[in-house]
Amino acid sequence: MKRRDFIRISGAAGLGAATGALPGCGVEPRVPRDSEAVVTPTVCEVCFWRCAGYAHVHDGRPWKVSGHPDDPHSGGRLCTRGTAGPGAWDDPSRLRQPLLREGKPGQQRFRPVSWDEALGYIAERLQRIAREHGPERVALFSHGSGGAFFRHLLRAYGADTYAAPSFAQCRGPRDVGFRLTFGELLGSPERTDMARSRCIVLIGSHLGENLHNGQVQDFIGAIEAGASVITVDPRFSVAAAKSRYWLPIRPGTDLALLLAWTHVIVGEGLYDRDYVQRYCHGLAELTRHVEPFTPEWAWLETGIDPQVIRETAREMARHAPATLVHPGRHVTWYGDDTQRSRAIAILNALLGSWGRPGGFYAPEKVSLPEYPTPPYPKSKAADLQARRGGFPFADADVTNAVIDASVGERPYYRGWIVYGTNLPLSIPAVTGKLEEASQKLDLFVVVDVQPAEVTGYADVVLPECTYLERYDELRNAPEREPSLALRMPALAPRYETKPAWWIARELGHRLGLGAWFPWQDYAEVLDWQLQQVGSSLAEMQRVGLKRFPRKTAAYFTPGQAVRFRTPTGKIELHSTELAKAGLDPLPRYTPPEETPAGFLRLVYGRAPAHTFGRTGNNPLLFQLMPENTLWVHPDAARPRGLASGQRVRLKNQDGAVSLPVRVRVTERIRPDCVYLAHGFGHTAPGLNLARGAGADDTGLMTRVKVDPLMGGTGMRANFVTLMAEGKPA
Ligand SMILES: Nc1nc2c(c(=O)[nH]1)N[C@H]1C(S)=C(S)[C@@H](COP(=O)(O)OP(=O)(O)OC[C@H]3O[C@@H](n4cnc5c(=O)[nH]c(N)nc54)[C@H](O)[C@@H]3O)O[C@H]1N2
Ligand SMILES: Nc1nc2c(c(=O)[nH]1)N[C@H]1C(S)=C(S)[C@@H](COP(=O)(O)OP(=O)(O)OC[C@H]3O[C@@H](n4cnc5c(=O)[nH]c(N)nc54)[C@H](O)[C@@H]3O)O[C@H]1N2
Ligand code: SF4
Ligand SMILES: [Mo]
């Protein structure tokens, strides 16, 4: 696909989305002229790439959201999902007022209450927990912009546990693996220099379906410029379709392939000698370690022809250092994920791509001072075991460990605040635990925009307004060029919804923590911060996004002396930290569990038109893709008597059964696995469109393979059988 095709397709989808009259959505079919709309800057929150753009409001309704032309995250174009932002505002299921539980936990029976009553209830419970157990026994789960305000509130209160699914269910293994190797994290947006890559290796990363906007544009740009793409995926993904090589790997054996590639690169002397000598520690150990991992050995594990393994290794070396072995983003797959990420990091080090054009650049953000408030109280820190589950390389709090520490005989945590994360659909293998936690906790608050499944466990549900109706912190993301972007309210909050900053401030004052909220309106904080860097809120309201000059170089200069933030000051091929902890200092391959007879491995990924489960009820995106389908290879479909369009239920190895989902028979997947886009199969009664549409992968993940280094939950350890429902549609 050419870049302009991408623009046209995403633009066309967006236009269709913004103008189509939908039942229950109420979007006017008449397209207003640009001059009729009031335009204000925004930052998209439909996913966490956070593109900067503009909200166009006409007649008191948002009629479109467009990209900011100067934005490095979006190149001025929003993706399909971002363009459907007005649907988030117009979602008929939106929460409208605070709710207090009436029925039992797990039942969605609530009584609408005033903000005063809801906040009074929460403040009273928080004070009681602090008095009886200590404030450190309150945990924050968070994913999304407004979580920062609750983090600030809870730190002022004395609670420091802060767990996000973006660590233990997403990027954690990769960030830990790269930190152990290079001494630095990859961040978001990833510091990958893909636009300049000459060779791109994608291990699973399904760019194009994974629609992180700027990244997909860089990927397309690189392909247009002739980059060679090698995609490793058991499924013929969109990225595979754009690749020179597609390696349909046996699921769970990527580490064997990575070791064999390393074997070839080291054995044939294809690595960057000067770079490795100058910057790397442990080449001798690595050379010894990979000796046995020949392409022939890897063939038996991965099913990939040894000649293809050799050819692709040489292809990577030919283009180095402009070869990017992409670190991926969602990498909690099989439990050996930190080690697999280490193997990816090692390969990049050998190719000399870290700190070089076409590999990884050094990102920079704006040094933006925090608004002055008193230091947080030095209260007792939460028990590290409770927060991080005792995982030696957990660099952040571990969602599943915090959940575990909230159940059982003597639960550690007494209160939860859950902001913008739908725990039952995002954290596998916790359903029973969530029920138990909701019964045992003294306080369970959910802050959300819609009645997602997680709200069913809460005592109090607080309705946040959508991103189009609020201020949030400035977007200050590490990038090639530093920039600040403003999100401001394009409309007043609808119904009785409120922004997170307001909720946190109100609670702060009720808890006697007013010193941490010495402002009336968050706009004052933004203006103060902007003044410190030579701008102002007024300027940002006008320009939306402001770029700042870089202070350091984005790449190493030839021969530059670099001290890496690792114990040896070098890139650690052989990890001294892992060795010291008695763990494998070089990645060791463990074959995946065999698929039981008659079963298929369940794999999953992203649908381009949706973000997880959060957009299922967006009427515009629902129209584009109302449900997911189950990808099944003809060789797996035939003996089961399945045809495309037929509905099946999936049943996993432990008897968990999904909602019905339509089969898509396709040769684009290996015969030993089936594929579902994540985020469908909602059961929450309030989600009028999404409820019952398609099947949910999380409910089928009753087993996880926990990463022993950082606690991530490997989710690809589940197997399913298929049960036909009725005749082909
Ligand atoms: N449209 C859209 N885009 C998104 C998101 C979204 O919700 N919607 N979410 C964003 C977020 S938070 C994240 S973390 C990223 C995730 O996106 P990625 O980091 O790209 O996620 P992966 O898990 O690598 O991608 C799933 C792919 O892995 C393949 N796969 C399955 N098993 C194996 C295996 O054993 N080996 C290999 N090599 N491949 C395998 C699947 O077939 C599928 O193509 O996407 C981001 N982009
Ligand atoms: N089975 C399975 N599990 C997964 C994954 C998978 O592919 N398969 N992917 C994993 C990955 S990579 C990630 S990053 C996580 C993502 O995990 P989550 O972030 O939990 O993903 P969502 O399901 O989108 O839940 C987001 C919640 O935030 C709410 N929300 C949306 N906008 C706002 C807002 O503006 N304010 C507030 N307060 N709430 C809002 C939504 O209504 C929804 O309830 O999931 C992980 N879990
Ligand atoms: S990638 Fe799409 S959904 Fe995500 S922030 Fe950008 S425009 Fe919004
Ligand atoms: Mo993620």
**Ligand 1 center–CA 12 separation, angstroms:** 25
pLDDT digits (tens, 9 = 90+) for 590-609: 999 999 999 999 999 999 99
Which tokens belong to 44? 């998209």
Equal fold, 183-362+559-580 vs 600-725:
no
pLDDT digits (tens, 9 = 90+) for 425-443: 999 999 899 999 999 999 9
The pLDDT assigned to 30 comes to 67
Beta carbons within 8 Å of 703's beta carbon, 6+ residues apart: 429, 653, 654, 717, 718
The pLDDT assigned to 1 comes to 34
DSSP string, 281-308: E-HHHHHHHHTT--HHHHHHHH---HHH
Atom from ligand 2 closest to the CA of residue 701: 1
> Cα–Cα–Cα angle for 220, 225, 230, nearest 5°?
65
The pLDDT assigned to 543 comes to 98
Q: Indicate the burial class of 528 (C-beta count within 10 angstroms; 0-12, 13-18, 19 or more).
A: middle
Contact 138, 415 (CB under 8 A): yes
The residue ranges of every structural domain in the chain are: 183-362+559-580, 600-725
Task: Report which of residues 537 and 22 the model is more confident about.
Answer: 537
Write the single-letter amino acid at 123: A
How far apart are the C-alpha atoms of 413 and 131, rounded to whole Å? 14
User: Is the Cβ atom of 210 under 6 angstroms away from ligand 1?
Assistant: yes
Contact 569, 580 (CB under 8 A): no
Of 541, 624, 492, which Cα lies nearest the Cα of 46? 624
28-32, 131-135, 373-377: least confidently modelled range: 28-32
Residues with CB under 6 A from ligand 3: 44, 46-47, 49-51, 74, 78-79, 81-82, 211-213
Which tokens belong to 620? 């515009």
For the chain, counts of helices (H) and of strands (E): 25, 26
Preceding peptide of 189 cis, ω within 30°: yes
| Nearest protein Cα to ligand 2, atom 8 | 678
How far apart are the C-alpha atoms of 16 and 86, rounded to whole Å? 12
**Ligand 3 center–CA 353 separation, angstroms:** 28
CA distances from 524 to 218, 221, 371 (A): 37, 41, 10
What is the number of the ligand closest to the CA of 164? 2
Radius of gyration of the chain (CA): 25
The pLDDT assigned to 106 comes to 61
The pLDDT assigned to 33 comes to 78
**Ligand 1 center–CA 520 separation, angstroms:** 42
Contact 373, 335 (CB under 8 A): no
Band of pLDDT at residue 686, cut at 50, 70 and 90: very high
| Nearest protein Cα to ligand 2, atom 4 | 426
Contact 256, 301 (CB under 8 A): yes
**Ligand 3 center–CA 39 separation, angstroms:** 18
Average pLDDT of the chain, as a whole number = 94
Contact 7, 213 (CB under 8 A): no
Query: Does the pLDDT value for residue 24 go beyond 50?
Result: no
| Nearest protein Cα to ligand 1, atom 33 | 251
Query: Does the pLDDT value for residue 379 go beyond 90?
Result: no
Strand order in the sheet with 61-67: 38-43, 52-58, 61-67
How far apart are the C-alpha atoms of 289 and 484, rounded to whole Å? 45
How far apart are the C-alpha atoms of 617 and 525, rounded to whole Å? 33
User: Is the Cβ atom of 330 under 6 angstroms away from ligand 1?
Assistant: yes
H/E segment holding residue 502: helix 500-510
Atom from ligand 3 closest to the CA of residue 85: 8
3-state secondary structure of 122: helix
pLDDT digits (tens, 9 = 90+) for 297-352: 999 999 999 999 999 999 999 999 999 999 999 999 999 999 999 999 999 999 99
Atom from ligand 3 closest to the CA of residue 611: 3
The pLDDT assigned to 13 comes to 34
- Alpha helices per DSSP H over 183-228: 213-224
Atom from ligand 1 closest to the CA of residue 166: 12
Which tokens belong to 403? 């959940």
Atom from ligand 3 closest to the CA of residue 50: 5
Mean pLDDT of 570-589: 98
3-state secondary structure of 187: coil
Q: CB within 5 A of ion ligand 4: which residues?
A: 170, 330
H/E segment holding residue 677: strand 673-677
| Nearest protein Cα to ligand 1, atom 16 | 330
Which tokens belong to 77? 């174009």
Query: Does the pLDDT value for residue 399 go beyond 50?
Result: yes
| Nearest protein Cα to ligand 1, atom 28 | 204
What is the number of the ligand closest to the CA of 205? 1
Ligand 3 pocket: which of 43, 50, 614 to mutate (most atoms within 8 A of CB): 50
pLDDT digits (tens, 9 = 90+) for 385-396: 999 999 999 999
**Ligand 3 center–CA 85 separation, angstroms:** 9
Which tokens belong to 52? 């900067």
Strand partners, 118: none
pLDDT digits (tens, 9 = 90+) for 463-518: 999 999 999 999 999 999 999 999 999 999 999 999 999 999 999 999 999 999 99
Query: Does the pLDDT value for residue 727 go beyond 90?
Result: no
Q: Strand 110-112 relative to strand 99-101: parallel, antiparallel, unpaired?
A: antiparallel
How far apart are the C-alpha atoms of 718 and 721, rounded to whole Å? 11
**Ligand 3 center–CA 300 separation, angstroms:** 40
Q: What is the CATH number of domain 183-362+559-580?
A: 3.40.228.10
User: Is the Cβ atom of 233 under 6 angstroms away from ligand 1?
Assistant: yes
What is the number of the ligand closest to the CA of 47? 3
Contact 427, 165 (CB under 8 A): yes
Preceding peptide of 321 cis, ω within 30°: yes
Residue 675 φ then ψ, to 5°: -130, 135
Q: Where are the beta strands (DSSP E) in 343-449?
A: 415-419, 443-448
3-state secondary structure of 571: strand
pLDDT digits (tens, 9 = 90+) for 245-254: 999 999 999 9
Query: Does the pLDDT value for residue 717 go beyond 90?
Result: yes
Contact 203, 344 (CB under 8 A): yes
Contact 677, 628 (CB under 8 A): yes
Atom from ligand 2 closest to the CA of residue 171: 12
Query: Does the pLDDT value for residue 574 go beyond 90?
Result: yes
Global pTM reads 0.95
CATH 2.40.160.10 is held by the domain 600-725 = no
Query: Does the pLDDT value for residue 16 go beyond 90?
Result: no
